[in-house]
């Protein structure tokens, strides 16, 4: 129940969470929208400035504007809302226009006015709503059609004398009159091209009393005299003609015009805002990323080994935690090299040492290193590239970089004309990749990204080597930079995590990987094309011709098989497996594990932990010969508890469904005897046979000439870190 985590190997780094960056992706969008909204509001406010009164609900009618009518002429004191009732007319309009003189000729309208339900402003909008025509009285018949703060000039053949004719929008009548009903007296009033639309104006100019009669008698003002001359009827006719040839006038700009005007500004603000929001985030993220040197691509030529200055080492464990192979240990508060033979030459220990007490020294030249140039191409076999563990540089992250690097070099070296189209049958491709481990998949992704035609042969399943990693946790101190996929950040993850990511990528990218295809021959023809022959698990051969070859087969090789003299009954062929994928599916089963290396021990431990599983381990030696101390201790404990049984000095001789026969040397001494145990599954985990012969067949030579590499024993399982 209580958590008992193993000590972390990577120190957690400070992160800038969304609590600090404050604006998440969604809220960033909202913020930008808010900025735009703010700008819109600002623009709407600003667009009203400078046009007369700031608080005005619209521009004044042209005659009033020309006459310089001030706000205070109508709006008195605190009252901002003009009283437009009859009483108000007396105060406001009647100050200039004689109320008696402008009485309506229509009884109904007069009655309404008397009741206070109809006022000047009902028909003649004070702000914005007013429309009209003003004749200049000039010889060319020029007139101005005005309304809503705008005006439009025109001319006609008739030449009325100077006069202004206000046009009443029919909308003003529509509150009482049914303009669509032909029997309504007002239905006849609308005139002009727009007669039926929202911008119709009334042509019934006889609303007020016969002006010629009244005006002459009452008016003393010049303006009134000019308006109320006998030529008023001419002006009315001219106004009707003007309405017919001109349309509604308004200063309100169209939406599209507004957008044209403000669009660029809005876009600029939007972009600026977005940059503002994003910029500090990027800065902070950059500041927080660790300072780690980029990983190497070309393997070191000499054996590297850390050397520790004991007088300065503070014993901080940084190097111990950084080492993927447990080469270092701290004793008496000083780091020591305790397993020099395990050193892989990746110098992460030196990188993390806080005070430079740990230095890397160079030793003997590495013998089992293929001769490669900087782009990982073999110096001896042109067109053959080596990536991954096989190149002599371990770790997943290096394999990934190498795979990508090799394909980059291939893409650069293959001219467009030399490339082949992708085809379904794989008969001719740009490159063949052997092995679908980290390097192979990275190469395939890079080939996919660069549009090369390729095929991957994998003798087992995708990333089989990862499945057999003995270490539970893989440590990544940097994101893995995969071609196409981008950065993959795993930090401390289990190999299952990595495997899941791997399978997801292979599935999602639909990589051309042929699983269970074992490459058994590589030939070179006259045109220096490579012919690669692979054999499927079914025995069916596949032959591919390729311009380039990437060897990404790692050092693990193929699993070592049971001896040929072990008889396997035909019905038991699916009982034997060479890798353990998932221990959980062996719940309650009787399982035999052959071998006692780290891989076998960890498989046995995992199996023994399944409820009801009965685990037997068969080993040819008399005691633990190698492996991690932790695994051995665990095996001993499990054996003591009776959770598993170890048959020392035993070898399986025959396997049948449900039982296995082993030959065993009895602990008491004496001749070997044969025992049979009940069994459901057999795991043969006795290391691998490295594929140096395939490397040799591809023409790749090693740094050490003449070394009998093919016979080299290499069954130390790959322990890796990134």
Partner 1 sequence: MSEVFPEIVWTAAVLRGVSARARAELQLVGQLRAVSKGGAVFRAGDAADAIYIVAEGAVDVSAPRTGSLSGALVKHALPGEAFGEEATLDVGSTRRWEALAVTPSVVVAIPVLMLRRALARAGGGVGGVAARIERTLRRAATADLLAAAPVTAGLARRDLELLVDAAVHVDLARGAALFKRGDASRNVYVVADGLVEARGGDALAYFARGDVIAATPLNAPYESSAVASGPSRVLALRSDAVADVVTRDPAFADRIAASAIDAAERHGRATTRASFDGTENVFHDLYRLKVARSLLVIDQNACVRCGHCAWSCADAHDDGLARLVRRGERIVTTVAIAREREREPREMTWLLPKSCQHCESPACMTDCPTGAITRDPGGDVRIREDICIGCGNCAKGCPWDNIQMAPRPEPAAVPARKNATADGAKALSSDVAVKCDLCHDSGHDSGHDSGHGPACVSACPTEAIVRVAPLRAFPEVRAALPAEANLAGVEQVLPARTSATPWVLGAGAIALAIAAKTHALGATPTMASGLAVGALTAALFAYVVVKRRSRWRVRPFFLAHLALGVLAMGAALAHAGLRAPTNVAGALNVAFWATSIVGVFGALAYRLVPSRLTRIETLGALPEDLAPRARDLDEQMYARLSGRSDVVKALFTRILLPYLRSPLAPLVSLASGATQAADVRGLEAAVSRATEGRASARLAGTGELLRLVVARRAIALERPLQHVLRAWLPLHVVLTVVVVALLLAHVAFEIALRWR
- Of residues 584 through 613, those in contact with partner 1 by CB under 8 A are 584-585
Q: Interface with partner 1 includes 293 (CB under 8 A)?
A: no
| Least distance in angstroms from the C-beta of 55 to partner 1 | 6
Torsion sign (Cα): 403, 409, 412, 417: negative
Q: Of the two residues 55 and 526, which places its CB atom closer to partner 1 in the complex?
A: 55
Shortest distance (Å) from residue 579 CB to partner 1? 15
Query: Residues touching partner 1: how many (CB under 8 A)?
Result: 75
Residue 638 makes contact with partner 1 by CB under 8 A: no
Tell me which stretch binds partner 1 (CB under 8 A): 49-57, 117-125, 197-205, 363-371. 49-57
> What one-character-per-residue DSSP string does 121-139 give?
HHHS-SBS--EEEEE---T
Task: Output 252 or 379, the one with its CB closest to partner 1.
Answer: 252
Running DSSP on this structure, what letter comes out for residue 145?
E
Residue 139 vs residues 135, 153, 157, 358: alpha-carbon distances, Å = 11, 15, 9, 105
Round to whole Å and give the CA distance between 487 and 375. Answer: 22
Which of 90, 288, 301, 657 is the binder for partner 1 (CB under 8 A)? Answer: 288
Q: In the bound complex, what is the minimum distance in angstroms from residue 235's beta carbon to partner 1?
A: 34
711 binds partner 1 (CB under 8 A): no
Helix (H) or strand (E) holding 551, with range, is: strand 541-551
Residues 349, 358 contacting (CB under 8 angstroms)? yes
Angle, alpha carbons 55-58-62 (nearest 5°): 125
What would the 3-class secondary structure string for 620-650 be? CCCCCCCCCHHHHHHHHHHHHHCCEEEECCE
The verdict on 19 binding partner 1 (CB under 8 A) reads yes
**Position of tokens 């098989």?**
561
Q: 306 to 365, contacts with partner 1 by CB under 8 A?
A: 310-312, 314-318, 321, 332-334, 352, 354-357
Shortest Cβ 368–partner 1 spacing (Å): 33
Shortest Å, Cβ 171 to partner 1: 19
148 or 229, CB closer to partner 1?
A: 148
Closest among 170, 158, 169, 168 to 237, alpha carbons compared: 158
Distance CA 337, CA 330 (A): 9
Cα-Cα end-to-end distance for the chain: 31
How far, rounded to the nearest angstrom, does the alpha carbon of residue 376 sit from its chain's CA centroid? 32
User: Which one of the spans 51-59, 299-307, 564-572, 595-603 is the region binding partner 1 (CB under 8 A)?
Assistant: 51-59
What 3-state DSSP class applies to 266? helix
CA angle 708, 714, 718 (to 5 degrees): 145
From the list 330, 284, 339, the residue with the least C-alpha distance to 310 is: 330
CB of 70 to partner 1, least distance (A): 10
Binding track over 639-678 against partner 1, x by CB under 8 A? --x-------------------------------------
By CB under 8 A, tell whether 275 contacts partner 1. Answer: no
485-524: which residues touch partner 1 (CB under 8 A)? 496, 500
CB of 376 to partner 1, least distance (A): 31
Q: Between residues 106 and 645, which has the closer beta carbon with respect to partner 1?
A: 645
CA-CA distance, 510 to 194, in Å (whole number)?
A: 65
55-114 positions binding partner 1, by CB under 8 A = 55-57, 78-81
C-alpha Rg value of the chain to the nearest Å: 47
Q: Shortest gap between Cβ of 501 and partner 1 (angstroms)?
A: 9
Q: Pick the binder of partner 1 from 291, 374, 424, 526 (CB under 8 A).
A: 291
Does 272 sit near partner 1 (CB under 8 A)?
Answer: no
Q: How far is the CB of 201 from partner 1 (least distance, A)?
A: 24
Counting beta carbons within 10 angstroms of the beta carbon of residue 623, is it exposed (0 to 12), middle (13 to 18) or buried (19 or more)? exposed
Q: Considering only the stretches 27-35, 90-98, 226-234, 560-568, report the one whose residues sit in contact with partner 1 under the rule CB under 8 A.
A: 27-35
């Amino acid at each position: 129940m209580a958590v008992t985590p193993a000590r972390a190997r990577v120190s957690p780094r400070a992160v800038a969470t969304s609590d600090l960056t404050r604006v998440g992706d969604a809220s960033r969008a909202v913020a930008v929208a808010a900025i735009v909204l703010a700008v819109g509001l600002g623009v709407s406010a600003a667009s009203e400035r400078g046009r007369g009164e700031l608080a005005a609900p619209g521009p004044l009618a042209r005659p009033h504007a020309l006459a310089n009518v001030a706000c205070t002429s109508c709006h008195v004191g605190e009252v901002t809302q003009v009283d437009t009732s009859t009483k108000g007319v007396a105060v406001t309009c009647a100050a200039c226009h004689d109320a008696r003189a402008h009485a309506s000729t229509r009884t109904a309208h007069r009655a309404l006015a008397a009741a206070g339900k109809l006022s000047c402003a009902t028909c003649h909008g004070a702000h914005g709503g007013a429309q009209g025509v003003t004749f200049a009285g000039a010889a060319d018949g020029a007139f101005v059609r005005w309304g809503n703060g705008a005006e439009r000039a025109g001319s006609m053949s008739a030449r009325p004398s100077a006069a202004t004719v206000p046009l009443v929008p029919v909308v003003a009548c529509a509150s009482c009159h049914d303009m669509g009903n032909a029997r309504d007296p007002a239905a006849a009033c609308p005139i002009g091209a727009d007669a039926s639309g929202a911008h119709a104006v009334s042509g019934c100019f006889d609303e007020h009393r016969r002006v010629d009669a009244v005006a002459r008698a009452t008016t003393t003002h010049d303006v009134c005299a000019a308006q109320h001359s006998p030529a008023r009827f001419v002006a009315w006719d001219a106004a009707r003609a003007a309405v017919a040839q001109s349309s509604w006038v308004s200063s309100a700009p169209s939406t599209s015009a507004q957008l044209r005007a403000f669009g660029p500004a809005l876009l600029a603000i939007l972009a600026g805002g977005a940059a503002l929001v994003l910029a500090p985030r990027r800065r902070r993220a950059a500041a927080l990323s660790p300072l780690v040197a980029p990983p190497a691509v070309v393997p070191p030529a000499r054996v590297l080994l850390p050397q520790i200055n004991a007088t300065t080492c503070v014993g901080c464990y940084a190097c111990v935690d950084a080492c993927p192979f447990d080469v270092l240990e701290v004793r008496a508060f000083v780091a020591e090299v305790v397993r020099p033979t395990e050193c892989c030459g990746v110098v992460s220990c030196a990188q993390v040492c806080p005070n430079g007490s740990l230095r890397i020294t160079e030793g003997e030249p590495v013998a089992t290193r293929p001769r490669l140039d900087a782009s990982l191409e073999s110096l001896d076999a042109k067109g053959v590239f080596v990536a991954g563990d096989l190149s002599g540089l371990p770790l997943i992250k290096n394999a990934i970089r190498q795979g990508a690097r090799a394909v980059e070099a291939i893409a650069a070296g293959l001219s467009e004309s030399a490339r082949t189209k992708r085809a379904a049958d794989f008969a001719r491709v740009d490159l063949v990749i052997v092995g679908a481990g980290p390097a192979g998949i990275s190469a395939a992704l890079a080939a996919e990204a660069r549009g090369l035609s390729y095929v991957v042969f994998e003798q087992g399943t995708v990333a089989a080597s990862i499945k057999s990693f003995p270490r539970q946790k893989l440590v990544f101190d940097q994101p893995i930079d995969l071609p196409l996929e981008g950065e993959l950040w795993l930090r401390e993850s289990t190999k299952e995590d990595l495997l899941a990511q791997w399978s997801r990528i292979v599935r999602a990218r639909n990589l051309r990987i042929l699983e269970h295809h074992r490459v058994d021959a590589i030939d070179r023809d006259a045109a220096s094309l490579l012919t690669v022959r692979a054999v499927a698990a079914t025995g069916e051969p596949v032959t591919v011709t390729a311009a380039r070859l990437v060897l990404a087969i790692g050092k693990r090789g193929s699993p070592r098989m049971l001896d040929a003299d072990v008889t396997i009954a035909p019905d038991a062929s699916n009982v034997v497996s060479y890798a353990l994928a998932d221990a959980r599916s062996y719940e309650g089963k009787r399982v035999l594990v052959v071998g006692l290396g780290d891989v076998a021990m960890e498989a046995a431990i995992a199996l023994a932990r399944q409820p009801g599983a009965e685990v037997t381990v068969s080993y040819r030696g008399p005691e633990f010969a190698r492996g991690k101390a932790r695994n051995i201790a665990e095996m001993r404990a499990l054996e003591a508890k009776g959770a598993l049984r170890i048959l020392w000095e035993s070898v399986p001789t025959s396997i049948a469904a449900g039982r296995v026969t082993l030959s065993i040397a009895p602990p008491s001494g004496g001749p070997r005897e044969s025992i049979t145990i009940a069994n459901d599954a057999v795991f043969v985990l006795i290391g691998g046979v490295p594929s140096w012969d395939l490397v040799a067949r591809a023409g790749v030579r090693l740094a050490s000439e003449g070394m009998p590499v093919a016979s080299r024993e290499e069954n130390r399982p790959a322990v890796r870190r990134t």
